[in-house]
């Protein structure tokens, strides 16, 4: 049996920008707003890459190619729903209300990037692969027990589905019917390991069968399809029908991080073929072809995005420099005796002009 046929990919606009589905649930103004966000976040991502190459920020994990999945999914949430993302999900957090300077501050090593602003129900980005799926289940279960009506949405990559945390999360969420949406951004590669080497399943969505929960595939490069699919799924999950697993089929346009060179393992033919339908270009084609955008308006959107990103860069670079001993802060509400002692010794060495090693 071709199980992939049981999990067809939901799509509204194809790679060429042609309408192939129903977008009646998305207004023209929403489409324009989505496009403005896509362009702004793509501009930010590309600028961050250049800043790293200039030595102005540290290692950075690009998200280009995955903006549609992140923006479309968050747009389907209510304000008090939870977002639990990984280190590559800054597009989702930015759309939710986290300042655009935070991805840059994070790569600069500033602890403030983990201090989510008031009014944004999100956890700091998670570096440990798949650990955020556990946190999402806990938040969702807690919400259900307190009858808060909240849903938790957790983002992760295809590589995370090979981790035990992922399976443990789906199992527990299924057992307790936690209102959580598991959203896998299947970008085809876990660093240098292709999806075909990670699993013997035809799809990631079909893994939902093992946990008796809903499983859906959606075109992760089609922001309209992502938004409409998530809106429907989140609604069902909020009603208490149990968790859901969504596989957003997308493609990582660049490197895993700025420390990676994808040309060493990824065929150029694949990049050319799969990058053609990337989110920004796809929506632009659709809008230009349907009178929702003109070439002049597109230039205005791009210029506005550059100005917005430049403000974020200035905010990050002008942010007060932290002190080395801050590595001890923001972990526990109250430092343990051992950490207090270590912090004091660390400060003393700095004051004496010695090294902070040892």
SS (H, E, C) 145-157: HCCCCCCEEEEEE
Catalytic status, residue 252: yes
The one catalytic residue among 110, 217, 252, 284? 252
Enumerate domains of the chain plus CATH numbers. Answer: 3-321 (3.40.50.970), 323-358 (no CATH)
338, with CB counted inside 10 A (0-12, 13-18, 19+), is exposed
Q: What is the pTM of this model?
A: 0.94
Given this model, what pLDDT does residue 351 score? 84
- CB 349, CB 136: distance < 8 Å: no
Please check the confidence at residue 192 and state whether its pLDDT lies above 80. Answer: yes
The one catalytic residue among 265, 273, 276, 340? 265
- CB 186, CB 249: distance < 8 Å: yes
pLDDT tens digit string along 321-343?
A: 888 888 888 778 899 999 999 99
pLDDT band at 298 (very low <50, low <70, confident <90, very high): very high
Percent of the chain beyond pLDDT 90? Answer: 91
Averaged pLDDT, 199-224: 97
| Residue 152, beta-bridge partner list | 82, 180
Catalytic status, residue 265: yes
Please check the confidence at residue 1 and state whether its pLDDT lies above 90. Answer: no
Averaged pLDDT, 2-28: 95
In whole angstroms, give the CA distance from residue 180 to residue 156.
Answer: 13
Given this model, what pLDDT does residue 281 score? 98
The one catalytic residue among 11, 42, 217, 256? 256
Catalytic status, residue 167: no
Averaged pLDDT, 232-250: 98
Given this model, what pLDDT does residue 358 score? 43
């Amino acid at each position: 049996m071709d199980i992939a046929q049981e999990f067809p990919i939901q799509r509204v606009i194809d790679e060429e920008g042609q309408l192939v589905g129903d977008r009646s649930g998305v207004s023209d103004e929403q489409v324009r707003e989505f496009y403005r966000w896509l362009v702004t976040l793509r501009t930010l991502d590309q600028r961050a890459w250049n800043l790293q190459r200039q030595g102005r920020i540290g290692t950075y994990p690009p998200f280009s190619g995955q903006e549609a999945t992140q923006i479309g999914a968050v747009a389907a949430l209510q304000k008090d729903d939870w977002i639990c993302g990984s280190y590559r999900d800054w597009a989702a957090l930015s759309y939710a209300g986290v300042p655009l300077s935070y991805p840059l501050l994070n790569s600069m090593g500033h602890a403030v990037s983990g201090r989510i602003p008031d009014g944004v129900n999100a956890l700091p980005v998670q570096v440990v692969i798949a650990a955020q799926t556990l946190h999402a289940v806990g938040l969702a279960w807690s919400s259900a027990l307190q009858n808060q009506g909240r849903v938790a949405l957790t983002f992760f990559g295809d590589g995370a589905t090979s981790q035990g945390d992922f399976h443990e999360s789906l199992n527990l969420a299924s057992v307790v019917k936690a209102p959580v949406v598991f959203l896998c951004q299947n970008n085809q590669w876990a660093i240098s390991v292709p999806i075909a080497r990670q699993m013997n399943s035809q799809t990631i969505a079909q893994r939902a069968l093992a946990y008796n929960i809903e499983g859906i595939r959606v075109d992760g490069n089609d922001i309209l399809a992502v938004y409409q699919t998530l809106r429907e799924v989140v609604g069902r999950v909020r009603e208490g029908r149990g968790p859901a697993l969504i596989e957003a089929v997308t493609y990582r346009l660049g490197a895993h991080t700025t420390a990676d060179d994808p040309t060493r393992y990824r065929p150029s033919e694949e990049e050319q073929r799969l990058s053609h339908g990337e989110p920004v270009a796809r929506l632009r084609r659709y809008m230009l072809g349907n009178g929702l955008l003109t070439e002049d308006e597109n230039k205005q959107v791009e210029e506005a995005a550059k100005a917005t990103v430049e403000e974020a860069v200035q905010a990050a670079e002008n942010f007060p420099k932290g002190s080395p001993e801050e590595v001890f802060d923001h972990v526990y509400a109250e430092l343990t005796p051992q950490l207090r002692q270590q912090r004091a010794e660390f400060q003393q060495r700095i004051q004496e002009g010695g090294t902070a090693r040892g």
